[in-house]
């Protein structure tokens, strides 16, 4: 049985990742990429779908949890410790930053006493469906099926039984027992083994710590002291979710972790969303990671190249477009949440807001002093030319609803953002384009949103034109500069969301229970949405309710698990995390909210052009 979502930690090599429970089990790992088939898929089924557990023999059958665990400071090196009647043992898990092969290293170290240990290994390729052919060669196990091969190297003999391998050994104080898993294409020669795991551990630790040392958020004038470590942990998590060969950042390393246990809102998040672009670039740039920001910008330009009418909301880690969705019926689902899906049909939706996100992200790169790509403005011109004729069309909206297109307010606001940033590109940076047409479009969109997306009787912006429903995406209105934070309509919207979309002090995206399931197109029920809750922190700070913003930020950061990780959603009643894990959008939102609460200049106010009155045309 899989652990609770918050009981997992992450290790990775910036091309793929593994989830490791506090019981010592690796229940999820895709190789060689984030979006590849899983060789350990117990997370979405049971250990017969692939798992690798190393833990003390005492308490094994009851799934004894670790006494404590932590990451080495500034790294993705995980240390898990158990105190047992026989002594204390430490398990160190890490993935060396990839060079020639995909490796996962597990080192069992005796801290005190003599602790009996147990190993249980079941490899299942293709998301838990394929039992490999196993052979022993040169003191290693080789597991092969189709295109995939794994090698398990250890001095501890692994004994085959019932389509799995087991081992028992005792580790004494000062002893180290390493295990190394290596993936390679089955048609290639076996890569050379890592002969010294201690050297690999030192190099991996050093590489991560050197990367973390570049962060300006380790200085308390950028992020208030109580939150520095958690903000930096979020940045390390974002780096871990980066697909290093291209610069793309996946939304999460998992698929089909449910937004509600037993429900059907189970999606594949192992792809890169355009919607996250501006938030991600701000998080990286304001932390001092310009190299990663440029790599992400370049990924963005490559991904969106082509016909603007065919712009997708998401792409594969290398910019792949075909993300066909299918179901995996052999997996029972996390806590019986089915179907289990791979691929994502939302990639075929029309979502107007992504045009605004792409144009805004490229504009903000210019404002933050990043040298422009020679092709970037040409890409923007093509997108804007299409948007001039398309912004009036209904779409599926930010939440990728499957109940039909509507005139979603947030989508129109982001169309306004695209035209607004285009105007500023000409006025502020001397780029060439039909600025008079763009000004006219910007003003027309602004008037239409204020007329049709605003409920004057309740003093709030609504989910879509003519709808009474609220939507947390309206919190973006001051954050992108559509209206200033002092506007009474903004204040009214923030207050309405605080009244009507709160679940025990956390923000829901919209009411998925009280009748809006027709818009959603899915059965009702989901947790509070953590990125929206961080947006609410930003909005509270912008309208001057700073003490409330800080209190809510404290509440949200307190929901992180023991190693600082957060998923997409949270169930405040059951007190547990929900949805794919760890979620890049949540961690990006945490980083930006922390920076917005700092004494340094606010990234939110910078993005909103609050220093520039012209950016808020039509404001009253």
Q: Tell me the C-alpha distance between 241 and 18, whole Å.
A: 11
Q: What percent of the chain has pLDDT over 90?
A: 78
Instruction: List pLDDT tens digits, range 262-300.
Output: 999 999 999 999 988 878 888 898 899 999 999 998 999
Give the number of other CB atoms < 10 A from CB of residue 440.
13
Report the sign of the C-alpha dihedral through residues 605, 606, 607, 610, in that order.
Answer: positive
One domain, residues 228 and 138? no
Averaged over 454-470, what is the pLDDT? 96
Query: What pLDDT shows up at residue 514?
Result: 56
Residue 228, pLDDT score = 87
Question: Looking at residues 591-619, what average pLDDT do you find?
Answer: 67
Measure the CA–CA gap between 43 and 29, rounded to whole angstroms: 9
Between these two residues, 407 and 620, which has the higher pLDDT value?
A: 407
Same domain, residue pair 270 and 171 = no
pLDDT band per the 50, 70, 90 thresholds, residue 611: low
pLDDT over threshold 80, residue 601: no
Q: What span, in angstroms and rounded, lies between the C-alpha atoms of 590 and 196?
A: 38
User: What pLDDT, in 10s, does the model give residues 436-449?
Assistant: 999 999 999 999 99
Task: Indicate the residue among 210, 241, 271 that finishes a domain.
Answer: 210
pLDDT at 303 over 70: yes
Residue 148 confidence (pLDDT) above 60 = yes
Are 56 and 84 in contact by the 8 Å Cβ rule? The answer is: yes
Q: Would you say 19 and 41 are in contact if contact means Cβ atoms under 8 Å apart?
A: no
Q: What is the pLDDT of residue 617?
A: 38
Do residue 278 and residue 396 come from a single domain? yes
* More confident position, 374 or 283: 283
Please tell me the distance from the alpha carbon of residue 519 to that of residue 474, in angstroms, as a whole number.
Answer: 17
Q: What pLDDT, on the 0 to 100 scale, is given for residue 282?
A: 84
Task: Compute the distance between CA of residue 579 and CA of residue 566 in angstroms, rounded to an integer.
Answer: 10
User: Is residue 199 situated within a structural domain?
Assistant: no
In a domain, 192, yes or no: no
Asked if residue 395 lies in contact with residue 408, where contact means CB atoms within 8 angstroms, the answer is: yes
Residue 522: is its pLDDT beyond 80? no
522 to 6, 117, 472, 526: CA distances (angstroms): 26, 46, 18, 11
Q: What is the 3-state secondary structure (H, E, C) of 276-340?
A: HHHHHHHHHHHCCCHHHHHHHHHHHHHHHCCCHHHCCCEECCCCCCCCCCEECCCCCCHHHCCCC
Lookup: tokens for 80: 């898990």
Rounded CA-CA distance 438/384 in Å is 9
Q: Is the pLDDT of residue 615 over 50?
A: no
**Phi and psi torsions of 389, nearest 5°:** -100, -10
Shared-domain flag, residues 150 and 287: no
Q: Which residues are registered as beta bridge partners of 363?
A: none
Residue 375 has what pLDDT?
Answer: 81
Interatomic CA distance for residues 298 and 372, integer angstroms: 10
Q: What is the pLDDT of residue 616?
A: 42
Mean pLDDT calculated for residue range 458-464: 97
- Burial code (b: 16+ CB inside 10 Å, e: under 16) for 59-95 equals ebeeebbbeebebbebbbbbbbbbbbebbbbbbbbbb
Backbone phi, psi, residue 341, to 5°: -120, 145
Half-sphere exposure of 590 (CA within 13 A, CB side): 32
Tell me whether residue 447 is in a domain.
yes
Do residues 586 and 269 touch, judged by C-beta distance below 8 A?
A: no
The reply to whether 157 and 280 lie within a common domain is: no
pLDDT value of position 403: 75
**Domain co-membership, 230 together with 88:** no
Distance, in Å, from the CA atom of 452 to the CA atom of 466, rounded to the nearest integer, reads 6
Q: What is the mean pLDDT of the chain?
A: 92
Segment among 335-339, 374-378, 459-463 with least mean pLDDT: 374-378
Q: What pLDDT, on a 0 to 100 scale, did the predictor assign at position 221?
A: 55
Residues 39/31, Cβ–Cβ less than 8 Å: yes
> 298: buried, middle or exposed (CB in 10 Å: 19+, 13-18, 0-12)?
middle
Instruction: Work out the number of other CB atoms within 10 angstroms of the CB of residue 514.
Output: 10
pLDDT tens profile 88-138: 999 999 999 988 789 999 999 999 999 999 999 999 999 999 999 999 987
Residue 248 three-state SS: strand
Which of 520 and 570 is assigned the larger pLDDT?
570
> Does residue 299 fall inside a structural domain?
yes
CATH number at residue 467: 1.50.10.10
Please name the residue that has the structure tokens 């939102």. Answer: 589
- Confidence at 619, pLDDT banded by 50, 70, 90: very low
CA distance 454 to 148: 55
> Which CATH number do you get for residue 101?
2.70.98.40
Looking at the structure, tell me whether residues 135 and 230 fall in a common domain: no
> What is residue 620's predicted lDDT score, i.e. its pLDDT?
32
Residue 425 sits in the same domain as residue 466:
yes
pLDDT at 610: 65
411 and 511 part of one domain: yes
How large is the angle between the packed helices 546-557 and 530-542, nearest 10 degrees? 160
Give me the number of domains the chain comprises.
2
The pLDDT of 181-194, averaged and rounded, is 91
Is the residue at 197 inside a domain?
no
The pLDDT of residue 613: 46
Gyration radius of the chain's alpha carbons: 25
Model confidence at 11, pLDDT cuts 50, 70, 90, reads very high
CA terminus-to-terminus distance, the chain:
57
pLDDT for the residue 614: 41
Q: Do 180 and 237 have their domain in common?
A: no
Residues 173 and 259 in one domain: no
Name the nearest CA neighbour of 398 among 334, 480, 321.
480
pLDDT in tens, 554-580: 999 999 999 999 999 999 989 999 999
Q: What is the pLDDT of residue 402?
A: 73
User: Which conformational region is residue 546 in: left (phi greater than 0), alpha (psi within -120 to 50 degrees), or beta?
Assistant: alpha
Predicted local confidence at residue 96, as pLDDT: 96
- Please give the average per-residue pLDDT across 506-528, as a whole number: 71
SS (H, E, C) 72-138: CCCCCCEEEEEEECCEEEEEEEECCCCCCCEEEEEEEEEEEEEEEEEEEEECCHHHHCECCEEEEEC
- Indicate if the pLDDT at residue 586 is higher than 60: yes
Question: Which residue range is the domain that position 96 belongs to?
Answer: 5-187+206-210
Task: Indicate if 102 and 235 belong to the same structural domain.
Answer: no
Task: Decide if pLDDT at 618 tops 50.
Answer: no
Q: How would you classify the pairing of strands 148-154 and 68-71?
A: unpaired
Q: Are strands 454-455 and 460-461 parallel, antiparallel or unpaired?
A: antiparallel
d(CA 321, CA 328): 21
């Amino acid at each position: 049985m899989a652990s609770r979502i918050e009981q997992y930690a992450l290790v990775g090599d910036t091309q793929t990742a593994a989830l490791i429970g506090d019981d010592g089990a690796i229940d999820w790992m895709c190789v060689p990429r984030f979006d590849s088939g899983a060789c350990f898929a117990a997370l979405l089924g049971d250990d017969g779908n692939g798992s690798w557990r190393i833990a003390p023999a005492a308490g094994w059958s009851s799934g004894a949890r670790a006494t404590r665990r932590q990451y080495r400071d500034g790294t993705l090196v995980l240390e898990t410790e158990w105190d047992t009647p026989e002594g204390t043992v430490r398990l160190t898990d890490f993935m060396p930053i990839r060079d020639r092969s995909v490796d996962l290293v597990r080192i069992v170290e005796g801290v005190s006493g003599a602790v009996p240990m147990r190993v249980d290994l079941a490899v299942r390729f293709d998301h838990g469906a394929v039992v490999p052919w196993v052979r022993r060669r040169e003191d290693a196990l080789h597991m092969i099926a189709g295109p995939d091969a794994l090698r398990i190297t250890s001095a501890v003999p692994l004994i085959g039984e019932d389509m799995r391998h087991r081992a028992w050994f005792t580790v004494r104080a000062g002893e180290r027992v390493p295990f190394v898993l290596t993936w390679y294409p089955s048609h290639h020669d076996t890569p050379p083994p890592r002969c010294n795991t201690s050297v690999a551990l030192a190099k991996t630790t050093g590489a991560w710590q050197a990367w973390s040392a570049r962060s300006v958020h380790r200085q308390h004038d950028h992020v208030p002291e109580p939150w520095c470590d958690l903000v930096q942990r979020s940045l390390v998590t974002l780096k871990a979710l980066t697909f290093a060969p291209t610069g793309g950042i996946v939304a999460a390393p998992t698929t089909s972790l449910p937004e509600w246990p037993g429900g059907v809102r189970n999606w594949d998040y192992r792809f890169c969303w355009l919607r996250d672009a501006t938030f991600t670039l701000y998080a990286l740039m304001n932390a001092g990671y310009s190299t990663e920001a440029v790599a992400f910008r370049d990924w963005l330009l490559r991904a969106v190249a082509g016909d603007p009418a065919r712009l997708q909301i998401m792409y594969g880690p290398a910019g792949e477009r075909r993300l066909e969705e299918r179901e995996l019926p052999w997996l029972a689902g996390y806590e019986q949440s089915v179907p289990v899906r791979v691929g994502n049909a939302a990639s075929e939706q029309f979502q107007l807001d992504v045009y605004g996100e792409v144009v805004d992200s490229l504009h903000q790169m210019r404002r933050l002093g990043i040298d422009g790509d020679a092709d970037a403005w040409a890409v923007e011109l093509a997108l804007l030319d299409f948007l001039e004729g398309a912004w009036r069309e209904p779409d599926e909206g930010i939440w990728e609803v499957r109940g039909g297109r509507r005139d979603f307010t947030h989508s129109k606001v982001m169309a306004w953002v695209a035209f607004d940033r285009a105007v500023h590109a000409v006025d502020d940076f001397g780029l060439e384009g039909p600025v008079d047409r763009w000004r006219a479009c910007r003003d027309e969109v602004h008037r239409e949103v204020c007329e049709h997306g605003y409920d004057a009787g309740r003093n709030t912006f609504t989910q879509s034109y003519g709808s009474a429903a609220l939507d947390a995406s309206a919190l973006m209105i001051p954050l992108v500069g559509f209206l200033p934070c002092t506007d009474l309509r903004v204040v009214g919207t923030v207050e309405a969301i605080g009244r009507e979309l709160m679940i025990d002090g956390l923000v829901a995206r919209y009411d998925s229970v009280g009748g809006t399931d027709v818009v959603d197109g899915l059965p009702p029920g989901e947790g509070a949405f953590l990125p929206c809750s961080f947006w609410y922190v930003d909005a509270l700070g912008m309208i001057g309710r700073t003490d409330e913003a800080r209190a809510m930020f404290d509440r949200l950061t307190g929901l992180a698990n023991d190693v600082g990780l957060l998923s997409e959603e949270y169930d405040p009643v059951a007190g547990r995390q929900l949805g794919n894990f760890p979620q890049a959008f949540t961690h990006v939102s945490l980083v930006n909210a922390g920076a917005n609460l700092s004494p340094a200049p606010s990234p939110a106010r910078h993005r909103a052009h609050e220093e520039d009155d012209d950016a808020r045309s039509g404001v009253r």
